[in-house]
Amino acid sequence: MRKLTLSLSAAALALTGAGVALADHHGGKRGHNPDTDGDGVVTLEEHRAHAAAMFARMDANGDGVLNETDRAAHDARRAERRAEHFAKADTDGDGELSAAEIEAAHAARMAQRESKRGGRSEARPAQMLEKFDADGNGSISQEEMAAAHAARKEHMAAKRGDGEMRGKRQGRGGMHRMHAMLKRADTDGDKSLSRAEFDAATDAHFASMDTDGSGTISAEERQAARAAMRAKMTERRQTQ
């Protein structure tokens, strides 16, 4: 069983301090911004608070370590949420999503997103029905939704070069470096990340980003971190 694979990208962002650069890239949206007072700089205290919140989200069972058990718990929660969304959309309770139910769910979702984001476009319900309706009966079952989700996950994993799939294609690259980084953070070699190990790694990388030693990460240092992150992403794409 692979260890230390829980939320690899999230853990890597925290451990490398790239979350600061990502916050800058997203304009501070979606909980990525550790600059809680909005003064344009990230202090060590803000950084630690942000990392602590991220650790708490990843530590699904609350045992103070990140390992495969947490990943399994998160996967189970996502499956439960998908089932809840399906049940909500399946208004007649027949275990299938008809074209009308898909249209209604889509309209509700779009109305919600428009109120939050100003009207972001989504795939049309007809396209969703055509894509997910494997048996061609004009509706989508929960099994078909699950199969489509699994296929999309596999496709995205192949596209990103995630996990074992990438490991078979290349011995070095982005995911390999993430695994190596997480392995280094696991200083006692127990195949789990304790809170102490996580905090030590995030503090070390904060220090590496704080190039002028001021105890804060400035806008210029954020820009430099973002540029470095982009360079690594470009390198990763080129090696795929």
Mean pLDDT of all residues belonging to the chain:
75
Per residue in 129-188, pLDDT (tens digit) is 777 888 888 888 878 878 887 787 777 766 655 444 444 444 444 444 545 666 788 888
Per residue in 73-88, pLDDT (tens digit) is 878 888 888 889 889 9
Residue 8 confidence (pLDDT) above 50:
no
Taking a C-beta distance cutoff of 8 angstroms, is the pair 198, 66 a contact? yes
How many other C-beta atoms can be found within 10 angstroms of the C-beta atom of residue 162?
19
In this model, does residue 205 exceed pLDDT 80?
yes
Given a cut of 50, whether residue 28 has pLDDT beyond it is: no
More confident residue, 206 or 111: 206
Its pTM surpasses 0.85: no
User: Residue-wise over 67-84: b if at least 16 C-beta within 10 A, else e?
Assistant: bebbbebbeeeeeeeeee
Higher pLDDT, 7 or 124: 124
Handedness of CA 51, 56, 59, 63 (dihedral sign): positive
Q: Enumerate the domain spans of the chain.
A: 8-239
pLDDT band at 109 (very low <50, low <70, confident <90, very high): confident
More confident residue, 115 or 56: 56
pLDDT of residue 13: 52
pLDDT tens column, 209-218: 899 999 999 9
